[in-house]
Amino acid sequence: MSILSLHNISKRYGAIQALSGVSFEVPPGSVFGILGPNGSGKTTLLGIVTDVLKADEGTYSLFDAPPAGRLRRQIGTLLETPNFYHYLTACQNLQVAAAIKQKPEQDISRVLEIAGLTARQHSRFKTYSLGMKQRLAIASALLGDPGVLILDEPTNGLDPAGIAEVRELVLRLAETGKTIILASHLLDEVEKVCSHVAILQKGKLLLSGPVNEVLAREDYVELSGPDNTVLEAVLARHPAFSHILSRNGHLQVVF
């Protein structure tokens, strides 16, 4: 069984080929990182699987079935920063979100609890730290108790404390059995929170598989760091990558 399965997905914006023939599978219960430098096609990929964008070519399935509204309701998404009201409390903001998303209001205390915000639920949003704001955004994505969560760059723009809080929340959610698909340009983020990874570069899949197979090599540990140059250097040094690259002249390596 797979939660999400992509078959040869391609997408072009005018002259820009944003995705070329991308295929991989997300196993249930995984924290699946889509890792790649800015512009590598991560957001486009998440847009396609959440039905915000249409692929030019290729297909994908959700829960081993053709994507349908019924299946999409089992997926919570956080693709861009939600518009929370600064003068409303966290709880009131979630009431608004629940009404808009047509999710049960009884769910609000549960998601506040999961996000560790119960004690501050009656504080105004504007008093929240960056990490708390992002945890509230994740709480909002959890309304309706989806089994799968899709997050686009969930720690972008946060301070170090916020990054730690959000990563810890992702790990806690994974422990409860949720499957989490997250896009990140940070190698160390994927190493810290993901069980599986698909690496994109210029719209092509370079590597995918369990993190301990793809990334847990000594040269990755040594080189891991938060910038794209490092990621590209790591990929260039990967022996399997150079082997396949020199063998058939294109950038696809799948473990």
| Residue of the chain from 33, 41, 67, 131 that contacts ligand ADP (CB under 6 A) | 41
Residue 15 found at the interface with ligand ADP (CB under 6 A)? no
- Looking only at the bridges linking them, the beta strands covering 4-13 and 204-210 are unpaired
Residue 20 found at the interface with ligand ADP (CB under 6 A)? no
Residue 16 found at the interface with ligand ADP (CB under 6 A)? yes
**Least distance between ligand ADP and beta carbon 22 (Å):** 11
Rg (CA), the chain: 19
**Least distance between ligand ADP and beta carbon 187 (Å):** 14
Residue 44 found at the interface with ligand ADP (CB under 6 A)? yes
Residue 204 found at the interface with ligand ADP (CB under 6 A)? no
Per CB under 6 A, the segment of 31-39, 115-123, 138-146, 174-182 that binds ligand ADP is 31-39
Residue number with CB closer to ligand ADP (36 or 76): 36
Residue number with CB closer to ligand ADP (117 or 231): 231
**Least distance between ligand ADP and beta carbon 116 (Å):** 28
**Least distance between ligand ADP and beta carbon 50 (Å):** 13
Q: How many residues interact with ligand ADP (rule CB under 6 A)?
A: 11
How far apart CA 117 and CA 34 sit, in angstroms, is 28
Task: Please give the residue ranges that form the binding site for ligand ADP (CB under 6 A).
Answer: 13, 16, 18, 36, 38-44
